[in-house]
Amino acid sequence: MDKNRISPKVFVWAGSLVTGLAVVLGALGAHWLKEQISMLDMQSFETAIRYQLIHGLAILILGALPKPFHGLMLKLVFHFFWIGVLLFSGSIYLLATRDLTMLPLSWLGPVTPIGGLFMITGWVLLFVSSIRLVGERDEEH
């Protein structure tokens, strides 16, 4: 197997894990956390859930892309997406609940935009990959 290719099973595993955790955290937020944190922190928490859900579903879809997409570029997109979720959503979850956890997390502030940049980079790489494939197909005809 090509070392630059990720097994479709990995996309399903990772995408379902990321998306499933977002649903669990969403339920936690809706049924318990909203009474424990400020409205502003709750809005931030919901933003983290939304981005996690979107990128979890995107990871699932990556595995279903046609074979020409599968290679180093798609592997990079996959890694940028899950690392972006971890940094972006993860930092927001921790920051939104810092009054509950009493953890000194002010250092996490800069992590959130870095996670966002990872997500954006993943989308740009996916776009570039699709443009390359269209160009390669046009050259074949």
**Span 76-96, pLDDT tens digits:** 999 999 999 999 999 999 999
Domain-located, residue 3: no
Domain annotation covers residue 2:
no
- Show the domain range for 45: 8-134
Top mean pLDDT of 30-34, 70-74, 122-126 is at 122-126
What pTM was computed for the model? 0.89
Evaluate whether residue 141 is within a structural domain: no
Structural domain total, the chain: 1
Residues 6+ apart with CB under 8 A from 22: 49, 52, 53, 56, 89
pLDDT tens-digit profile of 3-54? 878 888 999 999 999 999 999 999 999 999 988 999 999 999 999 999 999 9
Q: Is 57 contained in some domain?
A: yes
